[in-house]
Amino acid sequence: MSAFATLTSPVGMIGVVSDGAAITRVAWRSTPPEGSIVFSDPAAEPLLAEALAQLRAYFAGALRRFDLPVDLGDQTVATRAVLTALHETVGHGETITYGGLAARSGTEVPARGIGSIMGANPVPLIVPCHRVVAGDGLGGYSGGDAGHGLETKRWLLEHEGALPTSLF
C-alpha cells in the first residue's frame, strides 16, 4: 500500500508517493495513483511528510540536495546505472549533456537513449533529470504540467542558477 500527498509549487501541482520505506513516485498530478491512500495530513506518514518538507525547502531555495530514500522500481541494469549516476554526481546548479551522462554512467546507452531514460524517471526533482541537457540547448523535458515541459525545465535550471534568468 502506498501513501499519496500533493504540494503546490511554482511549477505546478506535484504529487508524491511513498511506500513507507522509500519515495516511489514524484509526478505533476493531483490525483493519486490507483491503490494509494491520500493523506490530507501527510504527518501521518513520516517519510511522505519529510519528502514534502524537502520539496518545499527546495522551491524556497533552502535545499540543494534531497536526502530521501528512493525506489526506482523495476528498471533495467542500464537504466538504473544512468539514474544512479545522475542522482549521485550531478549537483544543484550543474548540468550535464545526454552524452556526458551516458559516458559517466559507464553504460553503452547512446545519448538518444539517455533522453528516453530521463522521460521514464519515476522520481523527477529528487533524481534531477531536468539537469540533463542537449549539447546545443535544453533538450526535452516530460515533467511539468501538460504542454509546459520545457518551460518547467527552464524554470528549474534558472532556480538552481544553472541558467541565467530569462529576460522575457
Give the separation between CA 70 and CA 50, rounded to whole angstroms: 13
Give the separation between CA 120 and CA 140, rounded to whole angstroms: 12
Answer yes or no: 129 catalytic: yes
Catalytic residue among 14, 49, 118, 129: 129
Q: Which residues are marked as active site?
A: 129
